[in-house]
Structure 1
């Protein structure tokens, strides 16, 4: 082979080697080019990436840290009950003191009128303990399930109270001291602010009569004898 031919062959081999080398380098760069993280045309939200901090949006769509906000709470007060049936007397050291401190409701419901009326007609001439005992019997009956579930139902139940005539009470002098005391005693009996000496009694009768009752006698208070 001539010298010129050997030189030309060597140059051709060198050119081929250089071309191959540059082609390999270009393929590596293309394989390492970054590809956007997307699903279809939607980018994956940063909040869904592993380790991302939780975020939320306020009403203006501004991104704010997801911190539980403690808003000022309005003051909560218990609803007031009706004045005539919820005038709970203040604690007292005696029943007499309690009666003196008990306010007369501005208006009486029919229920309290019935309770006060029974106390008035049955025991207005008796001691405070006797009046309260009568009132608490009516309260106990209304809660027992064995009698009507209201004070008026108990008082007007047929053949129970002798002062009821024609399903009505006699007229009451509501300005009298006896009525005012009966109303106060009705409030005390209704609220249970003071227990009677025969608490839990369900029956009573006048001491002047002797019915053949097969009931447990509790005690006599003034002109009445009380039973369970």
Structure 2
């Protein structure tokens, strides 16, 4: 090989070495760089979500507080429920009629007996077999002997009447279960009408049927 050929060969080899030194990194190097890239850089950021300020995000809806109403109050006994009733400033028609019936039909009876009388009237109003309101049931012709000319007699304020009002409130608010469930009729023990009905309870001086 001539001197010029050797110089050309050496020059070619030197150029090749220089090109190898500046070539792209191998596959292993590329994988190593990819694995070490931070997660935030690998996963594109949702620009729309990032643009919403924290205070603009909707706050969780607050759940309404459970408020116990007077009607939902629980009692350990009927006497406790009756004692807890507050005297109303004025009696509406429904309360007046129901308290009047309790007073005239069962004053002096034990509290369960008074409540059972009240529940008979309420049950009748709901049954569809009698008048549709408490007052209409009480004043219905031929049903209660204390009614005069379709009216309830006036009642002087006394302890028995105040108790009747409280029992009526308990019954209307459904704060104590009736001791004569689903009863629609009652009569005094001293009489025997011979009714062919289902007897549900005997309380004080009354017998209750449905």
Q: TM-score per shorter chain, which class?
A: 0.5 to 0.7
Alpha-carbon contact 1:89-1:103 (below 8 Å) kept = no
**Structure 2 gap ranges (5+):** 1-47
For 1:107, the equivalent position in structure 2 comes to 90
Gaps of 5+ in 1: 1-54, 56-63, 79-85
Q: Which of 120, 140, 147 is the matching residue for 2:123? A: 140
Count matched residues. Answer: 166
- The residue correspondences of 1:191-210 to structure 2 (distance < 5 A) are 191-210=173-192
The answer as to 2:151 corresponding to 1:168 is yes
Structure with greater contact order relative to length (CA < 8 Å, sep ≥ 6): 2
The structure-2 alpha-carbon separation of the partners of 1:118 and 1:87, relative to structure 1 and needing over 3 Å to count, comes to: farther
1:211 correspondence with 2:201: no
- Scaled by the length of structure 1, the TM-score of the pair is 0.62
**Normalising by structure 2, what TM-score?**
0.67
Give the 4+ runs in structure 1 shifted more than 4 A: 68-78
Q: How many angstroms does 1:227 deviate by? A: 0.2
Based on CA coordinates, which of the two structures has the bigger radius of gyration? 1
| Contact residue 181 and residue 200 of structure 2 kept, 8 A | no
C-alpha RMSD over aligned residues? 3.2
Residues in 1 aligned to 2:86 and 2:76: alpha-carbon distance in whole angstroms: 17
How do 1:13-162 and structure 2 match up within 5 A? 70=58, 88=71, 90-162=73-145
